[in-house]
Amino acid sequence: MKALNIFYSFRMRLLLVLALLLIVTLFVQYYLNLRAERNNSRIRERQEQALISGVTLGVNSISSTDRLIELRRRTNNPLLDGETGRVANIFVIDNEWRVSDSLDDEYLPEMMPDGTLKYQRLQDITTLPPIINADQLSDAQIKFLKTTPVAIESSQGEAHAFPVETDRGRWYVIVVLKSDREPTSILNRQAARPLIYTLAVLLVATLIAGVLVWRFTRPIKDLSNAARRVAAGDLYFRVPDPKRRDEMGQLASRFNEMIAGLGRTRELEAQLHQAEQSAVVGRLASAIAHEIRNPLNYINLTLDHVRTALAPEDPQKRATFNRLADQLKAEVARINTRISEFLNYTRPAKLELRPVDLRAAAEDALRLVEVQAAENNIKVSIQVSGDVPQVLADAESLRSVFTNLLINGLQAIDGEGGEISVKLSAEQMSHAAHIEVTDTGHGIAPDNISQVFEPYFSTKETGTGLGLAIVKKAIDEHGGTISVKSKQGSGTTFIITLPTTKG
């Protein structure tokens, strides 16, 4: 396993790639050298065969009365062919350094009018290429060396001299070979071929190195982007491709773990802040309840006494008196309700969990608001889809959830006429009940969506901002979830899921 981890290391893979490129380069160079050596071997072999054929033909000419041209025709040797063969010319030099025979008519002895032969001297031949093996001749052949012309460029071919001992003295057979060099364009191509192969290997190496560099720097760029987003406060972003097993993959994984840790820390800080805020509000609510409810109770009792004992005798005045007294008692009740909301939100919940029928809880809440809904021309309906199982909940807390959501819908419609619907259904796969409370009110501004469940946040002038906060707290205490969808001017939908007794 440890060896496998070393293989996943970026450094090890880079070393392996470089080693592979080195091996490929060496192999290409070895292959090119091998081809060049084989080509040189073929050239040397052809040269040796051509020299043997030329020397043999020259020796036969010394011992025969036939000319080299006739002997070449009879042998029919491809190497001696004037056009396609390797041998360009053969000179037979006698012991007096005269050209006795040649494949070129230009150098043959010329018959004079007096019947004698006029020979050309070896030193007079200006087209003879340099003698390749001149340094291998013995000291007795100094004259031959001194008379060897060297004025011709080696690109015209090369000459080899071979001494032949005869009864008439030492003769020489000079074999002139055609140049085995290719034309300039072919030579340029052959010279450029190794360079092309080397450049191809370097190009492949560069491409592979570029891919490796790109793969190595891409996670660094991702990390840079992630660091910038985290610095901006986005703790939900994750570095992509964390499954790499090299050092960059490990760094990305550790970075994601760090972001997750920062996110958990922020959540804990938020919870701590909320707990501190709730504690302060709880103490404030207790003080308010103590300091305000006692005077409110006295005012309420006094109103009952005044309405009973001091009501006017005149029926018209009595009706006005009772109406004003009822309005005072309603305001006292409203103040008591607000105090109860403060206390309910700040105190730890004491839930009495038991199976509760969602439809029954929704109908109980509906009865509390149906009069107000009818007065404002608002239609409230409950729709049940399929068999909705009971949920394990506190009945009073669940009724409070429905009540607050319905009241929120009534306030959103604001007396203009509209509709509020409560849809109940079941999520069979997750063993959860699904609740949707939809109104046709003004909707929620996009900037306020994320704040609707925060305590004391309200867009209404007379609102306390605790209604939806109480709903959110109750749903969380039941292990459920709540979310909101809204389009300004088209209405709002609250979506709730609660675990059922079957889960």
241: region left, alpha or beta (phi > 0 left; psi from -120 to 50 alpha): left
Q: According to the model, what pLDDT value does residue 150 have?
A: 41
Q: According to the model, what pLDDT value does residue 97 have?
A: 85
- The domains located in the chain, with CATH, are 4-181 (no CATH), 351-499 (3.30.565.10)
Q: Chunk the chain into consecutive blocks of 10 residues (it has 503) and report each block's average pLDDT, rounded to whole numbers.
A: 55 74 78 82 86 88 87 85 83 88 88 85 82 66 44 62 87 85 51 71 77 73 81 79 67 82 84 74 68 77 79 81 80 74 65 87 86 85 88 86 88 81 84 90 85 76 71 87 88 90 68
Helix axes 358-375, 395-413, angle to 10 degrees: 30
Concatenated DSSP letters for 385-443? -S----EEE-HHHHHHHHHHHHHHHHHHHTTS-EEEEEEEEEETTTTEEEEEEEE-S--
Q: According to the model, what pLDDT value does residue 203 have?
A: 82
- Report the distance separating Cα 198 and Cα 318, nearest Å: 115
Q: Which tokens in the block code for residue 278?
A: 């709730």
- Report the distance separating Cα 364 and Cα 227, nearest Å: 52
- Report the distance separating Cα 491 and Cα 268, nearest Å: 34
Q: Do the beta carbons of residue 413 and residue 378 sit within 8 Å? A: yes
pTM comes to 0.43
199 SS3 class: helix
Q: According to the model, what pLDDT value does residue 424 have?
A: 92
